[in-house]
Structure formats: structure tokens, C-alpha cells
């Protein structure tokens, strides 16, 4: 009885829509449903039965959220329907995933319209197109003109029905702003007459193609309309049974803009807007192909900003970014339009130039690039000097592939760095040999610790006055199974660059402290051990805890450990350097300034940091017997150190005359080949014990 009452009520509510329902009932390829103000089904056509599996009897009177709306969407659907009924906020057409009677997903494109019947009741009609059958549905829609008027009121696409020759028979457009000519001029006109000449040619070509093509043909085009440049996608289908062509035109401007953004991110550097590494190297690849055909040279310039990292670390990334942007602008202004300027990453840029006929052209370009960077940068009220190091590789003599040219230009750039920076260098075969050696060392360094290829040697240090051994310096040695003995001068910079110095440095500290424990027990003396710390190790947040733990584990007093710091560590001026040095001193560890005299600011660092020991570089010790200048410098260094309360160690003592002069000048401690070369742990302990016995005899 209750169901009869609901059916009667629904029937009364829908009196004004009987004709419309008759139209919908005639089409079973499209799902059309009607809902009252409470979201109850008041109309459910055959298409809905087929699509969702609910019969008309099952659906009528049931709320939409109980039928075909997945649970997670229910609240949203209820709210959207209420907003339309009460606030006139329309529900936009969209693709969505609903569910059928069995709970299976149903993917549809759903459009919605709202009517008010004679009883002043709001009724919403949903037109759902099964996306899997869209082509068949479109064919049906073309010949159901009365359905089009209802469906396409909620559809933004343009629909054109044409004869085979392109004459427009009919069209549907819910929004006329995307029509190139007034709508009243469309019917009876050829599609080619309604568009600009270049676009009409495209349409004409596809009209000829589609007649012999199964399915739809798709193409894109753009039009300049009163509201701006608009991008469209046209889908053209031939209906052979009617010898007519259906074309659906969709506005894809937003998708096009999104694609452009994606393309720009994929091919251009977001900060400088220059071509990124991918695009720059792709252009180099194309240049190589062109140069082979035209027998022309290509010049690849690998650019690196000198000391950019120091500026970035000291002044902040915001200033660094502004420097990179300004650098890109300067490079762009300095080069020809046909040249490519790209950013490879960080502070590295690349310049590609082709069509160079004179062998001096690359030289001129390099000098010009250096020149434009000699003018100071004005950034946030600061005047900053930033120079370039440039490596140059010429194709074909320096390589005929992208990877070879890039690698060789990079190699030449490092050579320019070694020349003092603010310079350029052309690639040579000798550089390539050196770079191959570097790559081999880097490759073998990975896993060298695990393979037990590193060993710590020790060089004794002596008290000048008593001639006693007072300590030793730990020095790392590497015997590679693949490459043989590799000097520290070769592998330490590579370890620093790759970050492997952290693990290697920890290995040296642990080995040195364990050795010191054994040595002190054998000789029953309180010796010290000196260990070098690299700049990269200071950036390790675990450095202090590691050293503290290693001292405790080896049962070594902090005062027996001396850490040697080079000027390169101090030059960055970073706060974490000062914090680390202060923390090490608080532990009671001695700090030594290594290689004193080889830098420009050593004296200022002695004033700024609380060092305990000053080590005079071997280059000065070597000269004290040969020239007065070196002797005076060593004398002054010792005096300065003593005035600051520092002990002095002279390294590189090799002959008696050097030792005699150092004793006269008041040097505290010495080390060098005069006494002993660096020795492995077991041989060193034998040497120390024997030396002690001789010295005490």
C-alpha cells in the first residue's frame, strides 16, 4: 500500500515531464534519471536499467545515495544536490565512478539539469554516458535531436554534424564564445569557411581522411578568439550509414597550459629559465649531427662559478639564487642568439656554439665570457666579485659524442681551476689521462675500507731539547689491489670530493687511538697522537660524539689526542666550524694549525681560534739552510707562536743543519726523514722502544 502511495506521489510530481520522459524512454543507450528535492528517484529509463542493473521498480522512490553512489561519495553528493536545490549552485558535468547493483564500478560522464515543475518542485535529471560505449552513444545522440538539447545544455563541447564535403548540417553549442563566427552563420556553411585559412586546410585534410577511416580521428589546433588564444581538440567520426561526419570539438586550453608547464619543468631550469641539462645535451646531440653534414666545428664551454659555494654558505641561498639568475642573464647577453646557454646544475653552466670557422673563435668567446664576469655583482646592496673557470672542448678533435665532449670540457674546466681560477683551458689528451686516473681511483676507493686496503702509518715527533720521542703523526696509506700504491695527494682530495672521507677519517681516528693505547702500554709513557681532520669531516654532525666515543673506547685521555686543522678548513668561516673547534677544546683535545705559512690568513686564524700547537710547513724548513728569507720567516713564526702560548712543530726535517738551526731558533718539536720516515704500527713500536733504549743509555 505504501509503495502505491509513493508511486502516485511521484507521478503527480512529474506530470509536466511526461513528454520529456517519452523522449528519454525511446533511447536506451544513455542513462537518464530523475530525482526529486529529497534525491528520490522519480524517473529511471531503460538506459539506467542496463547501465546500473536496477529495474525501474527497484529504483523509483529510492534515494540516489542508496542506489549508485559509492559510500565515500555520499556526503559530497547530498551536499551538492542540496546546494543546487536551495542555493542554485549547479553541479558541473564531469567524469566519475559510480557503482551498479552488484557493487561494480561504472565509469560515466555525468551531466545534470534542474527543472521546476507545475507544483513548484525542483527536479534534477542526470544524463550518464557510459564511457566504454561513448562512440556508440555519440552516434545515437546525433540522431536524437530532442535529446541533444537536453544533454548538451550541460556539455561544454561543440558538436558539428556535416555532409561529406564539410557542409554543416547542424551544430550544438552550450557556450558560443568558442565559435569563430556567429552561430547563425554556421548551418549551411562549409566548415572550411568558418575558420581561418590555415585551420580550414587541416579540417579539409581530415574530412578526406575520415571517410576511409574506421573510428575517430583526433587532431589539435588553436584559434585567436576575442577572449584570447584558445586550444582545441577535434574528434572526427564518419557515419557511413548516413554518409555524414560528426565532429566534437573540446576546449583543451587548460590542459594545454598544464602541458606547457610540465614541458617547461622538464626542459628548462626553474630558477634561471635556461635550458636544463636534458635539453642542453639534446641540443648538443643535434649540433653534432648538423656539424657532420656541414663539416663545421662545435665548441663546448663548461663553466663553473669560482667560490660560489662560499658565497652561498656565508650569505645564504637567497643571495646565491640571485647570483645564479644574474649570471644566467650575463651569459645570455654575451652570446649569440643561435648559441645555447644551459644550466647543468648547481653553479655549473654550459655554452654550445657551432658554425665557428676560425680557430680563434672559441678563444674570443672564452675571453668575452671572462670579461662580462669581471664587473661586480650588485646583490641586495652588496658588491660581490664572482669569476668563472671555463673548460673548452672542440668537436670533432676533442670528441664526436655528447658524453665525450661534456667529459672533456669538464676535465679542461678543472685544469682552469688549477691554474688559479678566473681562467679558461682547452682540453688536451694529457688532461684526459689524468681524469681517467682520477675516475679509476674513485672507483677503487669504493669498497677499499672493506677490502682492508687502507693502513695507518706513524711518523715520530721529537722534543728538540731532550731528543726524546713525545708523540707521532698518523698518516694514511693506501695500497690498492688494482692500482698499487696511491699517494695521499692523489686520493685524499677525491675522498673529500665524494664524501668518502667521513668513513675513511673515522677509520684513521679509531686506528690511531687504538695504536696509541698499545704504544703507551709498551713504553709506559704518555705520548700524543696527531690526526688530520678534513673540511668535509667538520660538516659531519656526529663528529664530536664520534671522537668522544672513540677516546672512551680506546681508553685514551683527550689531552693525548691532537687534531691538525689546515687553513682550508677555516676559510669557509662557517659557524659550525667554530662550534666544533670549541666543543673539541672543551673535551680537552689539543688543536694544531697545520701547514702554517702556506695560506693568506694564517695569522688572523691564530688570533680568532684557540690553537695549542703550530706546525710550520716543510716548504719553509727546506729553505732555512739555503736563504735568509725562509730562516727569518721561521724565526718570526716561532716567536709569534710562543708569544701566543703555542708549541711549535717543524715538519720535514731531513738534515742535521736544519735541526741545528731550529734548535737555535727555539723550536719545540720536530719530525721528518732525518729521524724516521712514516712506519706501520708494529715497526713503529719497535723503532720507538729501540730509540728510547739508546737515548737512555
The CATH number linked to 385 is 3.30.70.270
Residues contacting 131, CB < 8 A, separation 6+: 95, 107, 108, 109
Nearest to 688 by CA among 509, 510, 522: 522
What confidence category does residue 566 fall into, taking pLDDT thresholds of 50, 70 and 90?
confident
* Chain centroid, CA 430 distance in Å: 33
* 473 domain residue, yes or no: yes
Angle in degrees, CA 365, 366, 370, rounded to 5 = 115
Asked if residue 473 has pLDDT above 90, the reply is yes
Residue 253: name the closest of 314, 324, 175 by CA. Answer: 175
Asked whether residue 663 is assigned to any structural domain, the reply reads yes
Number of folded domains that form the chain:
4
Quote the CA–CA distance of 183 and 163 in Å, as a whole number.
18
Q: What per-residue confidence (pLDDT) applies to 504?
A: 96
> Is the per-residue pLDDT at 558 higher than 80?
yes
User: Closest Cα partner for 300 from 427, 480, 482, 117?
Assistant: 427
Domain shared by 72 and 169, yes or no: no
Query: Which CATH number do you get for residue 575?
Result: 3.20.20.450
d(CA 537, CA 533): 6
Say if residues 42 and 123 touch (Cβ distance below 8 Å).
yes
- Residue among 564, 565, 561 nearest 546 (CA): 561
On whether both 666 and 580 belong to a single domain, the answer is: yes
In a shared domain, residues 20 and 125: yes
The last residue of a domain, from among 89, 115, 131:
131
SS3 label, residue 567: helix
CB atoms within 10 A of CB 644: 12
Q: What is the pLDDT of residue 597?
A: 63
* Residue 386: other Cβ atoms inside 10 A: 22
Does residue 145 sit within a domain?
no
In a domain, 42, yes or no: yes
Q: Do 638 and 521 share a structural domain?
A: yes
Q: Are 163 and 169 in contact (CB under 8 A)?
A: yes
Q: Is residue 672 part of a domain?
A: yes
Residues 246 and 277 in one domain: no
Measured in degrees and rounded to the nearest 5, phi and psi for residue 425 equal: -145, 135
At 9 the pLDDT is: 46
Is residue 267 assigned to a domain?
no
Judge if 248 and 279 occupy the same domain.
no
pLDDT band, very low/low/confident/very high, at 160 (cuts 50, 70, 90): confident
- Please tell me whether residues 246 and 310 are part of one structural domain: no
Q: Mark which of 204, 225, 257 sits at the end of a domain.
A: 257
SS3 228: strand
CATH number of the domain encompassing residue 211 = 3.30.450.20
Q: Give the Cα separation of 415 and 428 in Å (integer).
A: 10
Question: Are 621 and 499 within one domain?
Answer: yes
Residue 137 has pLDDT above 60, yes or no: no
210-237 pLDDT, tens digit each? 888 888 898 888 888 888 888 888 898 9
pLDDT at 135 over 70: no
Cα separation of 3 and 326, whole Å? 77
Q: What is the mean pLDDT of residues 71-89?
A: 92
* Pair 539, 667 in one domain: yes
What's the pLDDT tens digit per position in 243-288? 898 888 888 888 877 766 666 677 888 899 899 999 999 999 999 9
Final residue belonging to a domain, choices 388, 409, 427: 427
Q: What is the dihedral of CA 682, 687, 693, 696, to 10 degrees?
A: -130
Q: Do 496 and 528 reside in the same domain of the chain?
A: yes
620 and 679 co-located in one domain? yes
Q: Are residues 623 and 658 in the same domain?
A: yes
For cell 551544430, what's the residue? 171
> Looking at the domain assignment, is residue 697 inside a domain?
no
**Range of the structural domain that residue 85 is part of:** 2-131
224 within a domain of the structure (yes/no)? yes
- What is the C-alpha separation between 393 and 626, in angstroms, rounded? 44
Amino acid at each position: 500500500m505504501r509503495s502505491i502511495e509513493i508511486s502516485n506521489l511521484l507521478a503527480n510530481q512529474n506530470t509536466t515531464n511526461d513528454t520529456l520522459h517519452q523522449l528519454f524512454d525511446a533511447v536506451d543507450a544513455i542513462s537518464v534519471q530523475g530525482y526529486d528535492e529529497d534525491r528520490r528517484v522519480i524517473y529511471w529509463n531503460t538506459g539506467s536499467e542496463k547501465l546500473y542493473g536496477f529495474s525501474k521498480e527497484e529504483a523509483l522512490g529510492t534515494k540516489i545515495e542508496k542506489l549508485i553512489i559509492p559510500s565515500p561519495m555520499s556526503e559530497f553528493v547530498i551536499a551538492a544536490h542540496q546546494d543546487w536545490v536551495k542555493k542554485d549552485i549547479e553541479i558541473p558535468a564531469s567524469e566519475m565512478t559510480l557503482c551498479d547493483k552488484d557493487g561494480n564500478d561504472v565509469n560515466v560522464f555525468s551531466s545534470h539539469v534542474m527543472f521546476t515543475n507545475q507544483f513548484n518542485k525542483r527536479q534534477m535529471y542526470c544524463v550518464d554516458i557510459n564511457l566504454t560505449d561513448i562512440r556508440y552513444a555519440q552516434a545515437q545522440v546525433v540522431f536524437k535531436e530532442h535529446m541533444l538539447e537536453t544533454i548538451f545544455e550541460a556539455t561544454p563541447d561543440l558538436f558539428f554534424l556535416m555532409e561529406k564535403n564539410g557542409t554543416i548540417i547542424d551544430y550544438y553549442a552550450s557556450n558560443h564564445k568558442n565559435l569563430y563566427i556567429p552561430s547563425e552563420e554556421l548551418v549551411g556553411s562549409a566548415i572550411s569557411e568558418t575558420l581561418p585559412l590555415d585551420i580550414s586546410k587541416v579540417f579539409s585534410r581530415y574530412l578526406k581522411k575520415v571517410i576511409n577511416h574506421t573510428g575517430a580521428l583526433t587532431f589539435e589546433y588553436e584559434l585567436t578568439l576575442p577572449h584570447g588564444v584558445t586550444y582545441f581538440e577535434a574528434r572526427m567520426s564518419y557515419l557511413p550509414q548516413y554518409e555524414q561526419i560528426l565532429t566534437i570539438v573540446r576546449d583543451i586550453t587548460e590542459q594545454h597550459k598544464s602541458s606547457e608547464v610540465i614541458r617547461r619543468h622538464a626542459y628548462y631550469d626553474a630558477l634561471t629559465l635556461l635550458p636544463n641539462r636534458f635539453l642542453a645535451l639534446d641540443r648538443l646531440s643535434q649540433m653534432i649531427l648538423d656539424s657532420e653534414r656541414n663539416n663545421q666545428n662545435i665548441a663546448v664551454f663548461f663553466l663553473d662559478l669560482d667560490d660560489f659555494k662560499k658565497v652561498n654558505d656565508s650569505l645564504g641561498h637567497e643571495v646565491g639564487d640571485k647570483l645564479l639568475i644574474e649570471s644566467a642573464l650575463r651569459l645570455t647577453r654575451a652570446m649569440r642568439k643561435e648559441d645555447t646557454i644551459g644550466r647543468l646544475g648547481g653553479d655549473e653552466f654550459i655554452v654550445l656554439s657551432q658554425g665557428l670557422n676560425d680557430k680563434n673563435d672559441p678563444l674570443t668567446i672564452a675571453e668575452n665570457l671572462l670579461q662580462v664576469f669581471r664587473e661586480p655583482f650588485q646583490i641586495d646592496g652588496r658588491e660581490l666579485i664572482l669569476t668563472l673557470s671555463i673548460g673548452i672542448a672542440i668537436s670533432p678533435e676533442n670528441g664526436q659524442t655528447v658524453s665525450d665532449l661534456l667529459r672533456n670540457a669538464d676535465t679542461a674546466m678543472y685544469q682552469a681551476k688549477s691554474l688559479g681560477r678566473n681562467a679558461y683551458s682547452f682540453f688536451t689528451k694529457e688532461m684526459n689521462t689524468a681524469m681517467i686516473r682520477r675516475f679509476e681511483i674513485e672507483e677503487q676507493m669504493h669498497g677499499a675500507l672493506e677490502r682492508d686496503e687502507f693502513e695507518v702509518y706513524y711518523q715520530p715527533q721529537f722534543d728538540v731539547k731532550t731528543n726524546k720521542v713525545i708523540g707521532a703523526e698518523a698518516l694514511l696509506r693506501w695500497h690498492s689491489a688494482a692500482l698499487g700504491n696511491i699517494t695521499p695527494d692523489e686520493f685524499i682530495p677525491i675522498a673529500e670530493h665524494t664524501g668518502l672521507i667521513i668513513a675513511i677519517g673515522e677509520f684513521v681516528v679509531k686506528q690511531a687511538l687504538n695504536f696509541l693505547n698499545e704504544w703507551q702500554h709498551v713504553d709506559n709513557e704518555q705520548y700524543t697522537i696527531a690526526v688530520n681532520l678534513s673540511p668535509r669531516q667538520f660538516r659531519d654532525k656526529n663528529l664530536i660524539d664520534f671522537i668522544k666515543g672513540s677516546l672512551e673506547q680506546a681508553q685514551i685521555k683527550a689531552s693525548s689526542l691532537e687534531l691538525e686543522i689546515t687553513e682550508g678548513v677555516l676559510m669557509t668561516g662557517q659557524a659550525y666550524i667554530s662550534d666544533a673547534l670549541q666543543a673539541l677544546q672543551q673535551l680537552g683535545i689539543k688543536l694544531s694549525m697545520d701547514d702554517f705559512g702556506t695560506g693568506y690568513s694564517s695569522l688572523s686564524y691564530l688570533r680568532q681560534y684557540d690553537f695549542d700547537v703550530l706546525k710550520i710547513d716543510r716548504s719553509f724548513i727546506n729553505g732555512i739552510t739555503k736563504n735568509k728569507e725562509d730562516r727569518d720567516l721561521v724565526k718570526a713564526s716561532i716567536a709569534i707562536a710562543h708569544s701566543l702560548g703555542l708549541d711549535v712543530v717543524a715538519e720535514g726535517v731531513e738534515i742535521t743543519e736544519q735541526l741545528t738551526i731550529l734548535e737555535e731558533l727555539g723550536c719545540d718539536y720536530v719530525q721528518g726523514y732525518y729521524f724516521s720516515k712514516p712506519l706501520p704500527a708494529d715497526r713503529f713500536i719497535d723503532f720507538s722502544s729501540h730509540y728510547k733504549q739508546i737515548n737512555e743509555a
